[in-house]
Amino acid sequence: MNIDWTQLITRQMKEAAAAATLLASMKADLASRNAAASFQIARIQDRIETLGYGIDAGEATKADEAEQAALAVTVKAWKAYKFALGKVTAQAAWPGAPVWPAEPVAPFIAADPQLVASET
């Protein structure tokens, strides 16, 4: 009987492979959450900026001003969420059982160019 020792897989090797797979999965999850947060921040900031143009021009309504104020609160929540995501890898439980921050609610923006583009 010949044993091919190059085919030997030890428990440590299996555990290392499992740990590498888990780490890759958690990194992908983190990247996905960061991308979603960046997307939300960009679309909210775009709307805030657009409303600001109307306010600066003196053409905005009270509803426009209220929308801008509400979105300012929302974008702050998304920025805090993105900041908290940046600390996930520093947790002692990373990557095995990270505690993910709660994702804020994505606001409905009726004049969202990305929403309008997806409807056509």
Q: For 50-90, write each residue's pLDDT tens digit.
A: 999 999 999 999 999 999 999 999 999 999 999 999 999 99
Q: Looking at the domain assignment, is residue 80 inside a domain?
A: yes
| Residue-level pLDDT at 113 | 64
pLDDT above 70: percentage of residues in the chain: 92
Q: Which of 75, 64, 81, 104 is nearest to 30 (CA)?
A: 81
**Tokens at residue 93, please?**
């439980």
d(CA 90, CA 85): 10
Number of domains in the chain: 1
Please indicate, yes or no, if residue 40 is contained in any of the structural domains: yes
Q: Range of 61's domain?
A: 35-96
